[in-house]
Amino acid sequence: MKRVVITGIGIYSCIGTCKEEVREGLYTGRSGIGIDPARTAYGYRSPLTGIVPRPDLKEALTRRQRICLPEEGEYAYMATREALQDAEIDLDYLEKNETGILYGNDSSSKAVIESHEICVEKKDTTLLGSGAIFQSMNSTVTMNLSTIYKLRGINMTISAACASGSHTVGLGAMFIRLGLQDMIVCGGAQETNVLSMASFDGLNAFSLRVDQPQKASRPFDKGRDGLVPSGGAATVILEEYEHAVKRGARIYAEVAGYGFSSNGVHISQPSEEGSAKAMARALTDANLKPSDIDYINAHATSTVLGDAYEAMAIDSVFGEEKTPVSSTKGMTGHECWMAGASEIVYTLLMMRDSFIAPNLNLEEPDENSKKLNIIAKTIDRKLDTCLSNSFGFGGTNSALILRII
Amino acid sequence: MNRKEIIEIVNKFLAEDIEVDPAALKEEAFLKEDLGIDSLDFVDIVVVVEQNFEFKIKPEEMSKVKTLSQFYDYIEAKLNAS
């Protein structure tokens, strides 16, 4: 089997719109959460959201490229542009070398809903414009980026709810391990517009701590009352190890293990067993023991049930080791389809700069989280091997292990 | 609306909405070959024509329009017919 490494990262999120801004946000424990008044007007219970600025792409992309890109596609473009630059890959390289793209995305609500509204008003589909179809499909990110960057390898979108971005990196690693691709652009994207999260808000899943937006996302804390939705995009450049060495690429880390599972139980409730199985499988895949893991980037989204089940699962696998754990969602909110990819980027930045980002707003652990070694304030620590969890609706679980080589 | 006004509006949306080079907007210019307007752009032209002139282009009529001058003629004829 070939080895897989990450040679470029890009991030566009509510705590920063490039990797160095995000690194500083992670280190200082900066919250990206705020209020979107349009949500209240639309009928949301909670106006809380990660505040992500829209990029201005007028100079960067042609009209045709821009009108086919939905909001999450714009974020994905920004993250991918940064990741390719970071990996020192340009358009000339991509034209001469087969490169793939796998990206996590599980909705593109705005274009779908706006198209419906135009049809209701005008009764004529020819007035929807040429970009609507390309913005509406779940695969919008991969169809747009593959065209913009002239990619000619594997090209598809992975939809696996809030584990989409993580499975994408795991599946990309499988393609490279098997020798089918030398390089794959992997990532996850998430829209944040008012139309995108209404039905999720309707599940009463979002925090109502409206008077303290930056304290609303509090993973593992006893006082948590729901997640805060957020978004943006994150990209990593996966590359076959020998290929990366041959071209003199800087290597962030190896994708050493990928574990997956499905709970097979409830559509929205998590499971200790399923989460633990994904982590254990990732350890087996990487040929590592729990004691080899220096840090766990938890999925914990700040929901009552989800955090409790993950705490139980981490305790069941890592209990004796008291492995340091933090959920970066205290700062970022829940980046949903993007989260599995962004948390790989966050973890890689911590590994690169030897620190553990804080589990923001952990003031009092509950009966499950107090069994864990949760890092509430930033600590400087050399990290060689880290695990990142991602779980999603429908009981889909993914765990990835990154190792410095 | 006279022809001069039609030309002004058409040239404005071709430059601003379709991002055709304003210097290329000459009456004898071919829409596809000279202005680079492709089949997807025509879909958007249907939308901007409806917004600006309040009538809907029929694709079968538009297929006969090859040059910018013919495009002005087509719009002028549609407006006069209504």
Residue of A nearest to B18 (CA): A63
How many CB atoms are located within 10 Å of the residue A86 CB? Answer: 21
Q: What per-residue confidence (pLDDT) applies to B60?
A: 85
Alpha helices by DSSP H, A123-251: 132-136, 140-148, 164-177, 198-201, 241-246
What sign for the dihedral angle of Cα A109, A110, A114, A115? Answer: negative
Residue A331: enclosing H or E segment and its boundaries?
helix A329-332
Give CA separation, A313 vs A23, A272, A400, in Å.
Answer: 28, 5, 15
Smallest CA-to-CA distance from A237 within A322, A312, A153 is with: A153
Tokens describing residue B26? 């000459």
Over 90: is that where the pLDDT of A14 sits?
A: yes
- Report how far residue A144's alpha carbon sits from residue B21's, in angstroms, rounded to the nearest whole number: 24
Q: What per-residue confidence (pLDDT) applies to A189?
A: 98
Per residue of chain B (82 residues), give pLDDT as tens.
Answer: 899 999 999 999 999 999 999 999 999 999 999 999 999 999 999 999 999 999 999 888 888 999 999 999 999 999 999 7
- Report how far residue A371's alpha carbon sits from residue A365's, in angstroms, rounded to the nearest whole number: 9
Q: Label residues A27-38 b or e (16+ Cβ within 10 Å = b).
A: bebbbbbbbbee
Q: Which of B17, B38, B41, B44 is catalytic?
A: B38
Q: What per-residue confidence (pLDDT) applies to A208?
A: 98
How many CB atoms are located within 10 Å of the residue A18 CB? Answer: 16
- B81 versus A187: the higher-pLDDT residue is A187
Residue-range domains of chain B with CATH: 3-81 (1.10.1200.10)
CA angle centred on A222, ends A219 and A224, rounded to 5°: 50
pTM value is: 0.96
In A65-148, which ranges are E strands? 100-104
pLDDT digits (tens, 9 = 90+) for A345-359: 999 999 999 999 999
Domain A258-403 matching CATH 3.40.47.10: the answer reads yes
Whether B43 sits inside 8 A of A63 (CB atoms) is no
Long-range contacts of A208-214 (CB under 8 A, 24+ apart): A208/A45, A208/A46, A208/A48, A209/A48, A210/A35, A210/A46, A210/A47, A210/A48, A213/A31, A213/A33, A213/A34, A213/A35, A213/A48, A214/A31, A214/A33
Q: What per-residue confidence (pLDDT) applies to A150?
A: 97
pLDDT band at A136 (very low <50, low <70, confident <90, very high): very high
Whether B40 sits inside 8 A of A130 (CB atoms) is yes
Beta bridge partners of A295: A386
The answer to whether A340 and A105 have CB atoms below 8 angstroms apart is: no
Over 90: is that where the pLDDT of A273 sits?
A: yes
Domain A4-246 matching CATH 3.40.47.10: the answer reads yes
Residues 243-282 (A) with a CB less than 8 A from some CB of B: none
Q: Is A61 helix (H, G, I), strand (E, B) or coil?
A: coil
Give start-end residues of each CATH 3.40.47.10 domain in chain A.
4-246, 258-403
Whether B40 sits inside 8 A of A64 (CB atoms) is yes
In total, the C-beta contacts within 8 angstroms joining chain A to chain B are 25
pLDDT digits (tens, 9 = 90+) for A276-329: 999 999 999 999 999 999 999 999 999 999 999 999 999 999 998 999 999 999
Q: What per-residue confidence (pLDDT) applies to B82?
A: 78
pLDDT digits (tens, 9 = 90+) for A42-75: 999 999 999 999 999 999 999 999 999 999 999 9
- Report how far residue A311's alpha carbon sits from residue B43's, in angstroms, rounded to the nearest whole number: 53
The whole-number average pLDDT for the span A23-49 is 98
Is residue A129 within 8 angstroms of chain B, CB to CB? Answer: yes
Q: What per-residue confidence (pLDDT) applies to B50?
A: 93
- Tell me what the pLDDT averaged over chain A comes to: 97
Q: What per-residue confidence (pLDDT) applies to B58?
A: 86
